[in-house]
């Protein structure tokens, strides 16, 4: 096997996170809870759910529950839908 430890892999991180004002507007429009806003904020910065759980000091299952609630409130299917809608609504 080739030495993959020292290789740099491209990531799908966005060029810029959604601003605090943008996240607040999403909270107001969709009625998101404080925890859901925190998860969505981290998600828009390109952090994976496992890392979000570490930073919030909650399990990956809790993060996934928040993600399901976010998707339900936003009326989208999956993380990509939530991200797409978040960026569409907060960028001009």
The DSSP result for 13-60, as a single string, is: --SSPPPHHHHHHHHHHHT--HHHHHHHHHHHTT--HHHHHHHHT--H
Residue 2 pLDDT > 60: no
Q: What are phi and psi of 70, to 5 degrees?
A: -60, -50
pLDDT band at 14 (very low <50, low <70, confident <90, very high): low
Give domain 20-90's CATH architecture. Orthogonal Bundle (1.10)
Give tens-digit pLDDT for 38-74: 999 999 999 999 999 999 999 999 999 999 999 999 9
Where are the chain's structural domains? 20-90
Question: Does residue 87 have a pLDDT over 60?
Answer: yes
Helix 78-90 vs helix 20-30: crossing angle, to nearest 10 = 110
Residue with tokens 């290789």: 7
Please tell me the distance from the alpha carbon of residue 21 to that of residue 27, in angstroms, as a whole number: 10
Q: What is the pLDDT of residue 17?
A: 84
For the segment 9-19, the average pLDDT, to the nearest whole number, is 60
């Amino acid at each position: 096997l080739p030495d993959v430890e020292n290789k740099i892999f491209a990531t799908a991180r966005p060029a810029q996170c959604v601003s605090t004002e943008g996240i607040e507007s999403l909270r107001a429009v969709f009625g998101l809870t404080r925890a859901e806003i925190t998860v969505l904020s981290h998600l828009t910065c390109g952090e994976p759910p496992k890392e979000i759980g570490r930073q919030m000091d909650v399990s990956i299952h809790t993060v996934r529950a928040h993600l399901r609630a976010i998707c339900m409130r936003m009326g989208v299917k999956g993380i990509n839908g939530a991200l797409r809608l978040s960026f569409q609504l907060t960028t001009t």
